[in-house]
Chain A
């Protein structure tokens, strides 16, 4: 039995997921290897003479010194093909649907015999350069996908199969690459996870990734191909926000990675997504989603790889000319996996025990987010949104500080907001977005040329509120002059009516651009009217006692996407309330 296993190295030392082997044939850096009789998947991470250090992506229980290691001759790769959408995979892209009740070591990558409907896009004699989309694949339960020639192959089409049903590994197209070299293409191809897929050129950020969340789109927007981080202590709503984004953002494909997170959350995603409909296409959200789940109790080395797997899948869809959003929850668990493996190797620890190369690994990851001209000539983008779980919610820890250097958008989650059940608990004064300028034209095109100014106004009010609250602690709120109390009222309105948005409310979980604009305009109007009223000597109590205040505070809940005209009514009511107020004030003066 042992003879059937190819011997390229022999194990001589094991510690948790890391082992050392004496190589009999030369191994290469980052080469994938099969370890032991059960052929556990591993990767070479260090070579010293004939000694190779291998990290194993599965439970190493039962491995012995003397067990064989066989080389695969290729770097750690994943199979990219039409079967990905709508399914759930582990950190190495092995389908979990086909597993039993428990995840057992030694499972193999998928060799599914499923048939997909293929139709060719090119014909015999055509030149197929790298990245050419040579066919399309239609699945009833997923969006239309393309077949791509891998980014490393050029040639002239010798033959191509006619439209029909094929499995994802069947040869569909044969290329003559010159020099008597022939390449066979199928629907799927393998790509090494740690190697970014090449593109024609990178483009500047242009359009937004519209999320349907007011505090993001209107206050801290993110562009397509940009990257964002959301750090927050436990219980501040990172996961719910990630899920909300995965549900409602307007990307074509969502890659959702649960990296070292909870199994029950994955179950909840798997339960929710098939039944929710994409507001743009009306199709189930699951059809555009790939879920990669490496829960916290699954092997730690696979957690490290899952991030790269996910970003590779993201790039694959980007290369088809699609807008892809990748949600990584959480990148801190990935960093911890790096730390754990580094510790096992006895490497010199850096800050917080993390290896010194932590920041460059993070940079590698976030740099793979891009807005690009793909090799096929299409424009696509990959946006990365990473959750960060800082220990003790301390944003000065290494993972958060390094992440800050590489992201454009920073959405800091705040514990005190979360404790008041104010979600999304993004703190407006701790967050920023560098994409604001690039995206202001989006709002002008949608009929809101004053967006940038109103946004600035809102932020200024919130800033003032924080300052006044500090002051009120010393002198008492009652002692603040009316104009300052007015600032507090306006800031409360912005917070409660605009920034708060319940992910569980059917009406308010998604907010279209039109609705965001209407809400922003009406709040701006309130600020102006109430300001004038205060000038006229109307008391703040009178304003906050207005019946319309409650309508404003609850407009997100009460005015849904289907009755946007109610905003006009609300505005009329608002105007009317203030007219009445000023009139009765004037009459009061006269009498």
Chain B
């Protein structure tokens, strides 16, 4: 099927990552090319625009060293594909899917288009399998389910990598009978997008230490690699992840860090195309472009295996309204937000609970999934903590003395919640986390707990009056 077509010396202009050619032959949009310079070095590229007399090639590696006269372009006659196979597990790839761990090449069973195809919404399975991450702020208040895409909104210098590694190590299904059979069907794809070498290395060693490296694929696009390649790195990785999930029937967790670098690269490449910029210079199609990545999470009816995404992005100057977190939040199914103030107060993980959300939580929690009182507890904790934060604002002006008696109780609850519930050392099971939650709610008068029913009040809140719990 592959047609080997060459264009020699047809190049007319070089500008940043773009190479312009005279259109001497007929090629299709988005088809892959190889650009060869005088020394015989081959660079990957793709056709990004076509008109009557010009072809625009996006070169996926540095264009340094390319010239107009001695550049040879080979047209592959098909879009960029990735050769995937079951032996990919445990291997390390670069941003365009080439093995870089000095091992033998991967035996491919299939070549898949890296852009993927949209999953038909009518065949998607509704995600309901609760994943216990061992982080109470996630498990209890913003539960993660298989097939979900739940990003971590972080800031520079916050411990998001540490959190992601912890989740990757601790994540397990709740039902132990399922777990044993499915443990080997578990895989992890770590995608480093424009991150420094040591961040990627940290992840690798952590996985190695936990013995999960043979279930892990690493895709490394380091900070020093080209920005066009940065746009492709998550696509190669997700293609591999989709293959593992839907063909090899594994439960794949994809950790992508850092999506901010991806968006910056998108802006850079868009600008070099001369496109009309939208908000903050980012291209107007950034929403659609991000969606083509995030929407590749999910599970399919009748197919074992699922693709769960945990993208990490650092909010520029901690601004959640910046286009990158904003558009991401509109696509993903919730978000986990990290907070600098909590981090400074030495609370780990510094999860800022109020703006966090998991949209799929309702389908994977409660009776038959986790615990029948779980949703109400989460709801009540949210209501109480929101009130505590509100009261804290009041108290910062009028002082503790200007508050009513009840408000003072909420103020104390807020502090205790942060120190005992949000803060945790190591993993904490769902049950242990729920127990901490009930205990904290006992600090508050039962009459204020409107989100709990009488039975729950009796079971969890009032019982301790005998054991001498002071309120």
- Check B28–A99 contact: CB distance below 8 A: no
Residues of A within 8 A of B404 (CB): 477-478
**Interface presence of B437 (CB below 8 A):** no
B148 in contact (CB, < 8 A): yes
Cβ contacts B52-73/A at 8 Å (1 or 0 each): 1000000000000000000000
Asked whether any CB of chain B lies closer than 8 Å to the CB of A13, the reply is: yes
Interface residues of B in 382-409 (CB under 8 A from A): 382-383, 386-387, 393-394, 397-399, 401-404, 407
**Roughly how many angstroms separate A336 CA and B398 CA in the complex, as a whole number?**
46
Q: Which B residues touch A265, using CB under 8 A?
A: 359
CA distance A504 to B361 in the complex (A): 11
A267 lies within 8 A of B124 (CB): yes
Interfacial chain B residues near A12, Cβ < 8 Å:
51-52
Taking CB atoms, residues of chain B closer than 8 Å to A394 are: 321
Q: Which A residues between 252 and 278 are near B, CB-CB below 8 angstroms?
A: 258, 260, 262-268, 270-271
Q: How far is the CB of B27 from chain A (nearest CB, A)?
A: 6
* CA of A262 to CA of B235, assembled, Å: 19
A66-B26, A96-B122, A479-B402 known; A353+B383 contact, CB < 8 A:
no
B294 CB to nearest chain A CB (Å)? 8
* Chain B residues within 8 Å of A234, by CB: 326, 329-330, 335
Most chain-B CB neighbours within 10 Å: which of A297, A349, A422, A553?
A: A297
The 8 Å CB contact of A262, one of B23, B331, B354, B403, is B331
**A477 and B403 form a contact (CB under 8 A):** yes
Q: Which chain A residues border B79 with CB–CB below 8 Å?
A: 61-62
Chain A residues 77 to 121 lying within 8 A of chain B, measured CB to CB, are 88, 96-97, 99-104
Contacts of B403 in A (CB 8 A): 476-478
Chain B interface mostly: mixed
Q: A588 within 8 Å of B by Cβ?
A: no
Kindly list chain B residues whose C-beta atoms are within 8 Å of the C-beta of A14: 29, 49-51
Does B278 lie at the interface of the complex (its beta carbon under 8 Å from any beta carbon of A)?
A: yes
Any chain B CB within 8 A of the CB of A289?
no
The verdict on A419 contacting B386 (CB below 8 Å), with A61-B115, A62-B31, A478-B403 known, is yes
Known: A14-B50, A421-B379, A557-B453. A296 touches B287 (CB 8 A): yes
Query: Mask for B423-464, Cβ within 8 A of A = 1, else 0?
Result: 000000000000000000000000100100100000000000
Interface residues in B301-332 by Cβ distance below 8 A to A read: 303, 321, 323, 326-327, 329-331
Whether a CB of chain B sits under 8 angstroms from the CB of A391 is: yes
Q: How far is the CA of A265 from the CA of B355 in the complex (A)?
A: 20
In the assembled complex, the Cα of A298 lies from the Cα of B296 at a distance in Å of 11
Chain B residues, CB < 8 A from A419 = 354-355, 382, 386
Bound CA–CA A331/B279 (angstroms): 18
Q: Could you tell me the distance in whole angstroms from the C-beta of A547 to the nearest C-beta in chain B? A: 8
Q: How many A-B residue pairs have CB under 8 A?
A: 228
Q: Does A496 contact B (CB under 8 A)?
A: yes
Known: A13-B52, A99-B120. A271 touches B126 (CB 8 A): yes
Contacts of B402 in A (CB 8 A): 475-479
Chain B residue at minimal CB-CB distance from A547: B447
Pick the contact of B119: A263, A393, A558 (CB < 8 A). Answer: A263
* Cβ-closest chain B residue relative to A346: B276
Do the beta carbons of B295 and A65 come within 8 Å of each other? no
Which residues of the partner chain A approach B401 to less than 8 Å between Cβ atoms? Answer: 476, 478
- Neighbouring A residues of B288 by C-beta, 8 Å: 260, 296-297, 300, 336, 340
- Please determine whether B287 and A333 come into contact, CB atoms closer than 8 angstroms: yes
Q: Which of A64, A266, A296, A553 has the most CB of B within 10 A?
A: A296
Q: Mark out the residues of chain A between 453 and 489 whose CB falls within 8 Å of any chain B CB in the assembled complex.
A: 472-479
CB pair A296 B398 closer than 8 Å: no
What residue of chain A has the Cβ atom nearest to residue B386's Cβ? A420
Q: Are B278 and A353 in contact (CB under 8 A)?
A: yes
Interface flag for B375 (CB, 8 Å):
yes
* Residues from chain A with Cβ under 8 Å of B30 in the complex: 60-62
Complex Cα distance, B326 from A263, in Å, reads: 19
User: Given A234-B326, A300-B285, A475-B402, are A101 and B119 neighbors across the interface (CB < 8 Å)?
Assistant: yes
Q: How far is the CB of B14 from chain A (nearest CB, A)?
A: 20
In the complex, what residues of B have CB within 8 A of residue A104's CB?
Answer: 117
A545 within 8 A of B: yes
Nearest B-chain residue to A303, judged by Cβ? B288
Selected from B23, B27, B115, B124, the residue in CB contact (under 8 A) with A263 is: B124
Q: Which residues of B are in contact with A by a Cβ distance under 8 Å?
A: 23, 26-31, 49-52, 79, 115, 117-127, 147-148, 246, 275-279, 284-285, 287-288, 291-292, 294-298, 300, 303, 321, 323, 326-327, 329-331, 333-335, 354-355, 357, 359-360, 362-363, 375, 378-379, 382-383, 386-387, 393-394, 397-399, 401-404, 407, 447, 450, 453
Q: A99-B123, A101-B300 are in contact. List 10 more A-B contacts (CB 8 A).
A: A101-B246, A103-B118, A265-B359, A353-B279, A421-B386, A476-B398, A476-B401, A504-B375, A554-B450, A558-B453
A-B contact list, 25 entries, CB within 8 Å? A16-B285, A61-B31, A61-B115, A62-B79, A103-B117, A103-B120, A233-B329, A235-B359, A263-B298, A264-B127, A266-B124, A267-B127, A270-B126, A297-B295, A336-B288, A340-B284, A391-B326, A419-B354, A420-B354, A420-B382, A420-B387, A421-B379, A472-B394, A472-B398, A473-B397
